Amino acid sequence: MNNVFFEGPVLWAQVDANMHLRHSAYADFAAQARLSLLEKVGLDASHFIQLQVGPILFREELLYHREIGPNDKVQVTCELTKCKADASRWSIRHEIYRGDGTKSATIQVDGAWIDTRKRKLAALPADLLEKFNAIPRSEDFVEEP
């Protein structure tokens, strides 16, 4: 499997009363995978803290395919599906697989960058944009004007 940015166990605290992964845990796994993705391309949290810029989400859509049970293991992939040329707006698709390799969820997020001081949308500096452009792109990737 390509572009796996998070692997880990399902914890007891992530299981609901029906004995499967609770809905919000899927989003938590995707968020952790995005953080790992950014770090892998050289965009660690220290860059964002120094620049007072950070990622924000406008939309997060989850499609559930198969249940994941307690003590299972998950793998989460990340791919850039859409992006403006300056990376000011972007979309990432995550796929979550359970331990037996079955795709259990697809998560699509749309995001941007925010200046954390001004609380307004911002662009990445050129050196960080170059790193952002190293993010794996999906086969159906679209660059927006």
Element (H, E) at 25: helix 23-40
Could you give the CA distance from residue 37 to residue 75 in angstroms, rounded to a whole number?
13
- Domain total for the chain? 1
Domain coverage including residue 88? 4-144
Element (H, E) at 111: strand 103-115
CATH of the domain at 140: 3.10.129.10
Q: Which residue has the tokens 């859409």?
A: 82
Rounded to 5 degrees, φ, ψ at 42 are 95, 15
Per-residue model confidence as pLDDT tens for the chain (145 residues): 789 999 999 999 999 999 999 999 999 999 999 999 999 999 988 888 998 999 999 999 999 999 999 999 999 999 999 999 999 999 999 999 999 999 999 999 999 999 999 999 998 888 899 999 999 999 999 999 8
Closest CA to 139 of 54, 55, 82, 57: 82
